Amino acid sequence: MTPILCFDLETIPDAAGLRRLEMFDASLDDAAGVAAVQAARLESHGNDFLPHYLQRVWVIGCAFRDHEGFRVRCLGDQHGASDAEETARLKSFFKTIEKHTPQLVSWNGSGFDLPVLHHRALIQGVPAPRYWDQGEDDRDFKFNNYLARYHSRHLDLMDVLAAYQNRAFAPLDSMARLCGFAGKLGEDGSKVWQSFLDGKGESVRAYCETDVVNTYLLYCRFRMLRGEWSAEQYRSELQVVRQSLAAMIGDAACPLRGEHWKRYLDAAPALAGH
C-alpha cells in the first residue's frame, strides 16, 4: 500500500526573525516585542496573525499509515524553537517524504502548512529534492506532484471538499464532530504562543496529534465517499485507528498523552468498539 502521511503544524511568531528585521524595539524581550508587532498588525489588518514567513515551526504532528499499522507522533523530541530545533523538525518531515514518497493529506495544508514549510525550509537551508520534484527527476511527478493544487499526491481535504472555493471552507473541528469523531476537545490553536511562553509543550503536542487523527479519519471517510473503499473497509480502518489510540492510553512514560487519547475515544462515537 502507498504510505499515508497526515500532517499539521503548530507555529509561533519568529521572534528572532522579527528582531533581525528590526520590527520591534531592540530593548524589548521576545514576548514584549512580539506583542508590539501583533498589536500593530491588529490595528493595520484587523487581526494579529503574522505572515507565513514569520511563523516558526514549533510542532509537526503526523499520523502515518502503512502496511505496518497506524502511528501518531510529533516530529522532533525538542520542546524549544531555536534555529537548530526548527531545522531538525523540518529535516525529519522532509526525510519521511524522501524515504517513503507518501500520500500527503492535510486540512488547509495548501493555504497554511505547506507555505510555512516552504519559507522556513528556505530560511533554514533544508533540502528536499523528492518533495520539490515536478518531473525533473521522476517523470511521474510531472503529472502528479506535491506542489500543484489540483494534483492528488498532496490532498488538502478542506480545499477539495470545498470544490476549491474559499467561501465553502469548513473548520476541521466542526467537520470531525459532525462525522462522529472527537474534534479538537476544546483546544484552541490561537493560544499556542502563550503555551510556548508558559512551557506547555506537551499539551500543544497532544492537541496537534488530535488534529492529524481527525484529518486521517475524515480522509478515510472520503475514500469511502469516492468509492475507493467499501463501507466495511471503512469500518475496519476505524477499528485499526481505535486500537492504535487505545494502546497509548496506558503509556506510563507520557501520562498526559494517554489521558488525552482516553478523552478522545470517549468523545468519538464513530470509533466505539464493536
Read off the pLDDT of residues 74-121 as tens digits, 9 standing for 90 and up: 997 667 889 999 999 999 999 999 999 999 999 999 999 999 999 999
Residue (of 31, 80, 91, 86) closest to 57 by Cα position: 86
C-alpha cell of residue 109: 495544508
The predicted model scores a pTM of 0.95
Superfamily of domain 4-271: Ribonuclease H-like superfamily/Ribonuclease H (3.30.420.10)
Domain ranges of the chain: 4-271
- Residue 157: what residue type? L
Question: Are 7 and 213 a contacting pair, CB within 8 Å?
Answer: no
Q: Tell me phi and psi for residue 105, to 5 degrees.
A: -135, 135
Burial of 179: CB neighbours in 10 Å, binned 0-12, 13-18, 19+: middle
Residue (of 37, 88, 96) closest to 63 by Cα position: 96
The pLDDT confidence band at residue 244, using thresholds 50, 70 and 90, is: very high
C-alpha cell of residue 165: 472555493
pLDDT digits (tens, 9 = 90+) for 27-40: 999 999 999 999 99
C-alpha cell of residue 271: 470509533
Q: Tell me phi and psi for residue 69, to 5 degrees.
A: 135, -160
